[in-house]
Structure 1
Amino acid sequence: MKQLKKGSSKLLNAWASYDWANSVYSLVIASAIFPIYYGQLFKDKGSLNIEVFGTTLKSTALISFTTAAAFLMVAFFSPLLSGIADYAGNKKSFMRFFCYLGAMSTIGLCWFDLDNIYFSLACYFFGLIGFWGSLVFYNSYLPDIAFPEQQDRVSAKGYSMGYLGSVVLLIINLAMVMKPGLFGIEGDEGEAMKKAMRYSFISVGVWWIIFSQYAFYYLPKGTNGNGNKVHSAIIFNGFRELKKVWFLLEENLRLKRYLLSFFVYSMAVQTVMLVATYFGEQEIDWESDEERTMGLIISILVIQLVAVLGAVITSRASEKFGNIKTLIVINSIWMVICICAYFVTLPIHFYITAGFVGLVMGGIQSLSRSTYSKFLPETKDTASFFSFYDVAEKIGIVIGMVLYGLIDQLTGSMRNSIVFLAVFFIAGVFLLIRVPKK
């Protein structure tokens, strides 16, 4: 097939379509169905604690630490693999491998059970690695397929497609969970609901694999496409590239200061997104298990739908006021959300908070990605720069999740953890103010 030209609508749409394919993982698994399923397993057990790895951990602390471990591994391997991908010119092959790893691990979550906790956590662990590992290479395609003036909009389009696609599957999964009998899922009410949740994990893996094929068909093989054979000297080339990027940052003060601010506020953004449903599942006063399940899924739907609008508004705002000013406002809103979340106890308050989270969630992700892309110096070595970006994000998430889990484990409440994250948004605003205009 003839390679599509940079900036062509078909190529941009193909790139954005991967968001449609893989965002079902971040919604159904990371945000909606799996956290509810995970919480229900501990309710059935009659305790929020579990003996694992030679110690006793609270359920939410365990999932926080497991998530942090997965991100730590991604942070370590992504520069190594991106260096190989740049040299061999086969970026798409790595993206495809992580896509399939994540999808198959997600299907494995169908057998997640506390009696088989190590296999269960392994599926969760490798699902995260597959999802985030594929994004390392997906994000690095942006400056390769879009011109600078196109990047804000195509980035926002990708997130919007992701939100819409994931909502479609979540609605189907919601129908399965709430009305399992309509889908031929048998058992008593509680058992049928859990069985429907397990089937939803399979649907995510299948969706991810099928809809990723359009992107894999049209995206170029790699930036250079030279097909160089990988040898031992290349294995650690990615780390050498990171070191080179680090020194290049000394020559680009704007990029350096922006990356520092991104590192700080991103650890809070991603942590909130990863733990929001666990917070709602445990800390909100739901009247029944049915109300909890329906309420949490409705909240996630509200977040996803409002996030589409938020991403578009943010894109327009960045065009009018500039990327940095828009990011400062978004971080300020995030700070207020974290402080207010400490006092949220009723479902209605949780719904309102979810609406505000959605408004700023899509915007801060898409704008952060496109701002970094626009601040990059002229280079063909985009994978290494985006690897640096991803490593900064992943290490931030590791720190955020570990701190969140420790505060939760030591104090017994996620409220203390969530309000602590406001500190990172305050610091993010301060650091963004220090980013030079040129």
Structure 2
Amino acid sequence: MLEKNNKKLINAWSSFDWANSVYNLIVTTAIFPIYYLTTTQAVYGGEMVRFFNISIKNSVLYSFAISFSFLIIVFISPILSGIADYGGLKKQFMQFFTYLGSLSCIGLYFFTGENVEYGIACSILASIGYAGSLVFYNGFLPEVASNEFMDKVSAKGFSMGYIGSVVLLVVNLLLFQKPELFGFENGGSATRFGFILVGIWWIGFSQISFSYLKDRGKRKKITWDILGHGIKELKKVFKTVKSKLAMSRFLTSFFLYSMGVQTVMLLAPLFADKEIGLGADEMIIVVLIIQIIAIGGAYFFAFLSKLKGNGFAISTTLIIWIFVCIAGYFLKDKITFYALAAFLGFVMGGIQSISRSTYSKLIPTETKDTASFFSFYDITEKLAIVIGSLSYGLIDQLTGSMRNSMLFMSIFFIGGFVLLQLANLKKNME
């Protein structure tokens, strides 16, 4: 049994964000997408690449790969979470996905552009590892913090993730800009070495969390009955969600605005490269600014939620997100992009942190199978990413412009904002 609100335990739990957020920033946001575009364009002489003898635009292939990885998580998450809760294996599954993701990151070192199938496979496995570990990591939140501290603890986790990411991103920036100082032939080989650093960082620092977090209850033998337990538990969670109007409306709102949030975050580097013309080193600097501002954003919106309520805090972020998407359509120069990126960073930290803690507060206090509840939450988010990134890629493919994709994302935020008002969180969370 974990001791709630224990400072050492909270720090240990939060350190997992420090460990795995380097993947989310460096591999999915700052470096790998641009490295992927640059290397594939150099090998194939343009945007069109050959993927298992199919000709496809490189940016579209990447967005579809991200969608596919999250779709896999949607299918396996309910089974795994049921096993984790019922079999007392939540921590072990968290470890398995951590090792899968981090080793896949290390494997990206061998991606050089012509082996595009291998590069996409590694990026998919790394994405599965990252997303899968978060299901069980988030499931520990109600076990380490009581309701009144969840906003602050959730914000602490995200903030530690942003800080850790910035530290390793600075190292990668130095490697990229001054490769000769570190014994590399060029920026490309230094960038590839950066993927190894991400994997080692992820594995190494996650051991802090693993040493403190413990599964609740006795471990049980895995049988065929337990394999179906996750589906049964997910059905129970669905019934609970349906019976609680505020919870169901919040999750529907969360589903809609997550289509926009996660898609914009995942595919912003491709937008910056193709529509604004940002170079790799410029993009890294922009991402650094975003991460630093996101730290302040996470704590600001935790404070705002305490002052005005979770619903008000999330609604404020959604209004800013709508502005970001509409403004993105009209972006022409780098200076304006930097300014818009600052707004994106501010709300990025806020909306992720407050959404997680809001859902934790809506879970019935007597609940023991938290992994199943967070599996449902995770499925909602991952399905949103699948639909959002597919929409982004299809609009890009059909219209030939990511600006249209960016504008389309605002529809998801508007829908999420409207449904959030109907949830009346302030009344239902008192």
Q: Please, what TM-score do these two structures have when normalized by structure 1?
A: 0.95
**Any gaps of 5 or more consecutive residues in structure 2?**
none
How far 1:51 moved relative to its partner?
Answer: 2.0
Cα deviations across residues 339-372 of structure 1 (Å, max 9, x unaligned)? 0001112111111111000000000000000000
Q: Which runs of 4+ in 1 moved over 6 A?
A: none
Q: 1:77-226 alignment to 2 at 5 Å?
A: 77-186=76-185, 192-220=186-214, 222-224=215-217, 226=218
Question: How many Å separate the matches in 1 of 2:119 and 2:323?
Answer: 36
Question: How many Å separate the matches in 2 of 1:87 and 1:380?
Answer: 10
Contact 1:83/1:237 (8 A) holds in 2:
yes
- Equivalent residue for 1:5? 3
Q: For residue 220 of structure 2, give the secondary structure of its aligned residue in structure 1.
A: coil
Contact 1:95/1:135 (8 A) holds in 2:
yes
Question: How many Å separate the matches in 2 of 1:311 and 1:247?
Answer: 31
- Equivalent residue for 1:73? 72
- Equivalent residue for 1:324? 311
How far 1:285 moved relative to its partner?
Answer: 3.6
Question: How many Å separate the matches in 2 of 1:43 and 1:50?
Answer: 8
**Any gaps of 5 or more consecutive residues in structure 1?**
187-191, 287-291
How far 1:54 moved relative to its partner?
Answer: 4.3
Question: How many Å separate the matches in 2 of 1:164 and 1:402?
Answer: 30
- Equivalent residue for 1:289? none
How far 1:114 moved relative to its partner?
Answer: 3.0
- Equivalent residue for 2:47? 48
AA partner of residue 226 (structure 2): I
Question: How many Å separate the matches in 1 of 2:259 and 2:216?
Answer: 29
Contact 2:36/2:113 (8 A) holds in 1:
no
AA partner of residue 28 (structure 1): I
368-377 vs 53-62, which deviates more? Answer: 53-62
- Equivalent residue for 1:334? 321
Question: How many Å separate the matches in 2 of 1:380 and 1:13?
Answer: 22
Q: For residue 315 of structure 1, give the secondary structure of its aligned residue in structure 2.
A: helix
Cα deviations across residues 311-362 of structure 1 (Å, max 9, x unaligned)? 0110100000000011111101100100000111211111111100000000
Question: How many Å separate the matches in 2 of 1:411 and 1:233?
Answer: 49
- The structure 1 residue matched to 2:270, chosen from 257, 278, 285, is 278
- Equivalent residue for 2:25? 27
AA partner of residue 11 (structure 1): L
Question: How many Å separate the matches in 1 of 2:241 and 2:362?
Answer: 11
Question: How many Å separate the matches in 2 of 1:336 and 1:36?
Answer: 25
Q: 1:239-278 alignment to 2 at 5 Å?
A: 239-278=231-270
Question: How many Å separate the matches in 1 of 2:52 and 2:193?
Answer: 28
Indicate the RMSD between aligned Cα atoms, in angstroms: 1.0
Question: How many Å separate the matches in 1 of 2:156 and 2:357?
Answer: 12
Question: How many Å separate the matches in 1 of 2:116 and 2:331?
Answer: 32
Number of aligned positions between the proteins? 424
- The structure 2 residue matched to 1:395, chosen from 373, 379, 383, is 383
Contact 1:144/1:223 (8 A) holds in 2:
no
Correspondence 1:38 to 2:25:
no
- Equivalent residue for 1:430? 418
Question: How many Å separate the matches in 1 of 2:221 and 2:41?
Answer: 53
Correspondence 1:230 to 2:222:
yes
Q: For residue 123 of structure 1, give the secondary structure of its aligned residue in structure 2.
A: helix
- Equivalent residue for 1:297? 284
Q: 1:405-424 alignment to 2 at 5 Å?
A: 405-424=393-412
Q: Please, what TM-score do these two structures have when normalized by structure 2?
A: 0.97
AA partner of residue 111 (structure 2): F
Cα deviations across residues 44-94 of structure 1 (Å, max 9, x unaligned)? 132101122443211110000000000000111111100001111121000
Using the aligned pairs only, state the percent identity: 51
Question: How many Å separate the matches in 2 of 1:304 and 1:75?
Answer: 28
How far 1:233 moved relative to its partner?
Answer: 1.2
250-259 vs 297-306, which deviates more? Answer: 250-259
Cα deviations across residues 118-169 of structure 1 (Å, max 9, x unaligned)? 2221111100000010000000000011111111101000000000001000
Correspondence 1:385 to 2:377:
no
